[in-house]
Amino acid sequence: MMRQVFVFFIVASINVIHANPMDIGSACLTREEVKQVIRQLQNDNEVMLEKMQSCGCDALDGMQTAETVSNALPATNNIIPAPSPKPEIYVAPEPEVMSCPVDKPMYQMINGKCIFYEEKRFDYAGAQENCGEVFANGRLFEPKDEDENDQVYRDFKVMFGESYIRIGIDDLTKEGEFTYASNGGPVPMGPWRNGQPDGSTAQNCVVYGNYGDSLWLDYFCSGRLTSVCEKTS
C-alpha cells in the first residue's frame, strides 16, 4: 500500500511538471532538469517512506486517520465560542472597621462602639452637641441593655470619679416615659436606683449618680455634668 502511494505521488509530480513546463521561474526546464527534479522527488519520498516504516506507521492508514480526525472536528465557528459578556461578580464591600483612638485617654472600644468620656461639663443639650463634635454622627451614650450599661460604666469608673454623668435617655417628650434621645425609641430596661425616677417634670434626663455603680437617676437637664459619648458608625 505504501509503495502504491509513493508511485502515485511520483506520477502526479511528473504530470504537473509536463503540464506546466514553463511555470518554474521565468525559464523552461530542459529534459535533463526535469529528470533531476524527478530524481530529487524520488529521493525525498524514499527518505519519507523509510522514516514511516521505521516508526511502524502505514502511509495510507495515516492519511485515513488524519481525514477521520479532520471530519470529526466541529466547524471552526463552533470551536471558538462567541465572546460572552463578563459575568458581573458581586463583591461585598469590606465591613468598615470603626476607627477609635483608643491610644488616647478617655476613649474605649466597647461592644462595637467607640466610647468617649467627656470631662467637660455641659447641660443635656450642650452634652449632645458636644458629642456631635467629638465624633461624626456622635451622640450621648445610649445603652442597649444592662450588660452594655454596666460595661461602659465599669470601664470608665476610674475616670468618672465621684460625679454625675449624662447619658442619652430622657422623658422630655412624655413625662415618665423614658426613651432614647436619638430616635425616641423605647428603652428595653430600667436599672434605676431605688426610689428613682422621682423628679417628675423637674428632672427629665438620666444620669449615673456618684455612688460607684451603673444604676440610673433622673436629674435636671439644665445641670452641668460630665457625660459619655458614643460613635456607632
Give me the least distance between CB of 177 and Ca ion, in Å please.
9
Based on the shown chain and the rule CB under 5 A, indicate whether residue 118 belongs to the binding site for Ca ion: no
Between 108 and 204, CB nearer to Ca ion: 204
Contact range with Ca ion by CB under 5 A, out of 10-18, 132-140, 154-162, 167-175:
167-175
Is the distance from CB of 211 to CB of 219 less than 8 angstroms?
no
Beta pairing partners, 122: 225
Contact range with Ca ion by CB under 5 A, out of 55-63, 119-127, 129-137, 169-177:
169-177
Q: Report which of 208, 211, 204, 212 is spatially closest to residue 191, judged by C-alpha positions.
A: 208
Give me the least distance between CB of 201 and Ca ion, in Å please.
6
Pick the binder of Ca ion from 108, 130, 204, 214 (CB under 5 A): 204
Residue facing Ca ion at closest CB distance: 204
Pick the binder of Ca ion from 110, 171, 216, 221 (CB under 5 A): 171
Give me the least distance between CB of 202 and Ca ion, in Å please.
7
Is the distance from CB of 191 to CB of 197 less than 8 angstroms?
no
Contact range with Ca ion by CB under 5 A, out of 67-75, 77-85, 142-150, 196-204:
196-204
Contact range with Ca ion by CB under 5 A, out of 20-28, 125-133, 141-149, 198-206:
198-206
Q: Which position has the grid cell 502515485?
A: 8
Per CB under 5 A, residues contacting Ca ion are 171, 204
